[in-house]
Amino acid sequence: MLLVSIAAFLAGAMASPVHKDSERPLQIDPSEHAPPPPPPAPELIEISRLPLPPVVADENEGACTVAVNPSRTGCTGKVASLQGGTFLPDDNHVIAKVRFAGAPAAPDPASIYTGEHVIIVKTDNSTFPNGDPWKCLTCGIPKENNHAIPVESPDYAYPQAFADGKRVMAGFYIIDCGEYDLVSPDCVPERTSIYQIRLENTTDGSGAGAAIRELRIHPDQVHLGLNSFTFSGNSLGQSTFFARLQFNAAPTTGLPLGPRYDLAHVNHLMHSGLSPPIYAVGDELHFNHSAITVGELRGFSGTGNEVTYVGYPVESCNIDVFAADLRTGALRRLTAHPGYVDPVQMSPDDRLMVIMDTRGSGRTEFMDGMRGIPPIVDLLTTTVCSSVRNNGQRRFFQPWLLDRYGDRGDYYGQEINGASTGFAGSGGFDDPEWNGGADPWFSNDGTRIVYYQVQTIPPACGGENPLPCSNSSEPGGRRERLMIAHLVERSPLPARNVMPMPDVIPWAVPYVPGETVPAPAYLNLKSGNYTLKGEVSGSASIEIIENDSKTAIQMIKVGFDNFSDDGLATLSGTQNITRNVEGFTINTLDWYSNLTREGIWPSRQFTSPAGFHMSIYVLTNLFEANGTLVTIAEGLTFRQPQDGT
């Protein structure tokens, strides 16, 4: 595919922790420094679709008739906000989120099948007693059983099953069937309850708690990882936490003032013992690649020993995922290939990982295709570099299977469905216009992976967009599908026995409700002129300019003079980037670049004479630019996407 050899080299050359000055060394597993084993050979993978509720041609009230669904158990539209979830403990069922549509009006019993809900889907070609291969878990739950703060449309994102088989977490809710298994005929709406998960954020316990998102169940089943947006200066940021899940049957403060789950013993996942990833000592800048910078928590290793996250880049604009040991702080870079990745899931024994990545699409290489650029301007560009991965609702993700050691040599994983070489519009499993969604999940026995796909639809194709739209060959013209990949050559793993993780993470910062969560220290660099010395030779001269209110960095100018960290190649040339932010979510970059890499894998990055001026709304990922930014590497030329594509 693209830039494989460069990615592999840098995975080995740059992933190792770097210790500078008098920093306390991390406790790192010596085996992680040993040469990795040879990459695995490609393995046989069989892919199939999983069943979903029938589709209605329109979503008007009453469109879901007996003719469409004889069981009268609901329909979806062609676009149903599908999101795949985890396997249940028996591995014969997975959970998913869908949006029902076309239900008849109340008091018709089928009126409960409307809006967003959590369903259970059979994976073994069997059916539930009513003949359906799926069951709605949250439809029809009596109002008195819903103990969450009332909302018109609850968000059941990232559904995950607990190991007891009786509870599911979806969004910041826990759906609980009491003493009954979720798949049992005895688990009916009248026996099902919904509880809200709450993170305290006031000193007196008042209010509805902090706004939390993208929660993940730790394999010990008693702790959670979670994210929460922050707003500092003119920047949108995110804090990440690790906490114990604790049932509170009768709270006396805060909302909801009824049975709920509270998050206790909360750890803010900021490294308290080492310098940040980029810091100044006098007029010299230094990098600390041992720093744990949890920009967005993505989950945990299968054994529960590590937290996985999107971190501060090791190479400029190259967004990768990392893993940090929760007890020791030992750090690993999991991916290195150019492109964007954030969904990652490790197998139950930690020997494999499945990621959703743009690799193979060429989507981001115009920004990150020149390898080994120190991530200096990333103090300004990270939000934009990560937002280019999508065109609105069109993702460029596809699922990739890697072993524990990640990209190396000529190995950068195995594309699970072969979409990089598939035929657009075919509708097959390898159709590149069927894009992967977050997150993929391993089965409990490690032999299967469930993931979901979304077909490209207008405005991401058709009209002014040069990409033609394709018809869907899925039942009912469905634009989303739930997939299962069977690793047929692998034997089932034994059941896991994960010991509970301590409540206190030694390297993290205790979270105190009501206190302002500190911004990452590297964002506090002040205006001035700095020097960054190459590890082997040369240097970079850097000028940092803050905004007028001194609340954020606004401009960075860099000049490289035969700069080399590896002794195999040198960087020369300049970067000059200014960022302006409107309302936290609209980022505009004025980017000037003229860089040359000489030595091994020569490459160039340059902008048009008037510069490259890019604007992106980070909540919709719509790309607009004037001017050009071009990277030439390995004889390939990478240009920015056309506006709106």
What is the Cα–Cα distance from 64 to 111, expressed in whole angstroms? 10
Write down the pLDDT at residue 584.
Answer: 65
Model confidence band, residue 389 (pLDDT cutoffs 50, 70, 90): confident
What is the Cα–Cα distance from 357 to 344, expressed in whole angstroms? 9
Side chain identity at 275, as an amino acid letter?
S
pLDDT digits (tens, 9 = 90+) for 204-246: 999 999 999 999 999 999 999 999 987 665 566 789 999 999 9
Query: Interior CA angle at 195 toward 193 and 197, to 5°?
Result: 160
pLDDT digits (tens, 9 = 90+) for 256-310: 999 999 999 999 998 777 778 999 999 999 999 889 999 899 999 999 999 999 9
Backbone angles phi, psi at 191, to 5 degrees: -105, 5
What is the Cα–Cα distance from 581 to 576, expressed in whole angstroms? 17
Candidates 200, 179, 183, 208; CA nearest to 191 is: 179
Write down the pLDDT at residue 365.
Answer: 92
pLDDT digits (tens, 9 = 90+) for 495-548: 988 999 999 999 999 999 998 776 676 677 899 999 999 999 999 999 999 998
When pLDDT is averaged across residues 141-168 and rounded to a whole number, the result is 97
The pLDDT mean for the chain works out to: 90
Share of the chain above pLDDT 90, in %: 75
Write down the pLDDT at residue 416.
Answer: 96
pLDDT digits (tens, 9 = 90+) for 468-495: 899 999 999 999 999 999 999 999 999 9
Write down the pLDDT at residue 302.
Answer: 96
pLDDT, greater one: 229 or 116: 116
* pLDDT of 30 above 50: no
What's the per-residue H, E or C state across 456-524?
CCCCCCCCCCCCCCCCCCCHHHCCEEEEEEEECCCCCCCCCCCCCCCCCCCCCEECCCCCCCCCCHHHH
When pLDDT is averaged across residues 29-45 and rounded to a whole number, the result is 79
Write down the pLDDT at residue 622.
Answer: 73
Candidates 286, 387, 290, 201; CA nearest to 19 is: 290
Write down the pLDDT at residue 275.
Answer: 77
Residue 265 · residue 245 · CB < 8 Å: no
